[in-house]
Amino acid sequence: MNILAIDIGGTKLAAALINADQQISQRQEISTPASSSPQALTTALTQLVSHYQGQAHCVAVASTGIIDNGILTALNPDNLGGLNQFPLQNTLENLTKLPCYLLNDAQAAAWAEYSQLAEQFRHIVFITVSTGVGGGIVINGKLLTGPHAFAGHIGHSLADPNGPRCGCGRTGCVEAIASGRAIAAAAQLELQGKNARQIFAEAQNGNPQAQRLVENSAQSICQLIANLKALLDTECIVLGGSVGLASGYLQQVKQQLSLLPTPFHVPIVAAHYQHDAGLIGAALFAAQAHSVQ
């Protein structure tokens, strides 16, 4: 029987059925509502899950935000149109009448990526550069979630004390410089009003401002990776999210890391599961949790 996997990001909501061999079918994607009203997210989730009735035995969720005790708490509410608290587990259990297993989106993606790197590495960090910047940490083959499910929120570590204010309330977080939203927010003049995807396209066309915005993002992700290497002696960094997976981005991060002293060097790879890492990781986690019940 399949697992219904749902990925809740700041920009898009995805859902799919995942079988025991991690094969995906019936994948759907809709935009994340840009509203602080819990009702708007409930309506979008209702639309998304209605398609899968009777086809799954449990629900696996990878969601942006701190996912603790079934509640989504936004660390950076700006990423969810101002939505701050949302009863995610209750909402989905009421909608589907199925047991529901939840993880943060980057924690879930880290678990998926670790599952297929496990023969090579025991210590990896997954970084998503997407609407925000998220992280999932695997140490000695175990996913680190922490006592309050907060572990891995590396997008909210300091990149520049003189940088922009972050939606989390701190100043100069990595997310406030490197994320898709931050790239768009920093755009001026001819790039004002464009989103990160459009700014990447402009950078490819040779626009110097766009190239500088992409470079600043890659530079702060490179410094974050060096910090993680010093903190955890991690063996491999996996990069995901639509910004992280954008053409040329990984190369820029690698190039900048190569300029730092050798102890900070670490292999960096693109997410094997690309944009589906969250869905697959949530399903793996749910399958493991469901089987021990």
Kindly list the residues in this chain that would bind Zn ion in the complex (CB under 5 A). 156, 166, 168, 170, 173
- How far from the centroid of its chain's Cα atoms is residue 106's Cα? 4
Query: What is the spatial distance between Cα 239 and Cα 228, in angstroms, rounded to a whole number?
Result: 13
Long-range contacts of 134-137 (CB under 8 A, 24+ apart): 134/64, 134/104, 134/105, 134/106, 134/241, 135/106, 135/110, 136/104, 136/106, 136/107, 136/108, 136/109, 136/110, 136/111, 136/281, 137/110, 137/232, 137/234
Interface with ligand ADP in residues 174-193 (CB under 6 A):
180-181
Task: Give the DSSP per-residue string, 176-201.
Answer: HHHSHHHHHHH--GGGTT--HHHHHH
9 binds ligand ADP (CB under 6 A): yes
From the list Zn ion, ligand BMX, ligand ADP, none, partner contacted by residue 113 (C-beta under 5 to 8 A by kind): none
136 contact partners, CB below 8 Å, separation of at least 6: 104, 106, 107, 108, 109, 110, 111, 125, 126, 143, 152, 281
The only residue of 56, 59, 60, 65 in contact with ligand BMX, by rule CB under 6 A? 65
Which of 27, 122, 123, 197 touches ligand ADP (CB under 6 A)?
197
The token duo for 188 is 């001026």
Which residue, 173 or 257, is less far from Zn ion as judged by CB? 173
Is residue 242 involved in binding ligand ADP (CB under 6 A)?
yes
Which of 130, 217, 223, 252 is close enough to bind ligand BMX by CB under 6 A? 130
Pick 128 or 234: Cβ nearer ligand BMX:
128
Q: Per rule CB under 6 A, is residue 42 in the interface with ligand BMX?
A: no
Q: Which residues in 80-99 contact ligand BMX (CB under 6 A)?
A: 80
**272 contacts ligand ADP (rule: CB under 6 A):** no
- Closer to Zn ion by CB, 153 or 275: give it: 153
**Residues forming the site for ligand BMX (CB under 6 A):** 9-10, 64-65, 74-76, 79-80, 104-106, 128, 130-134, 153, 155, 175
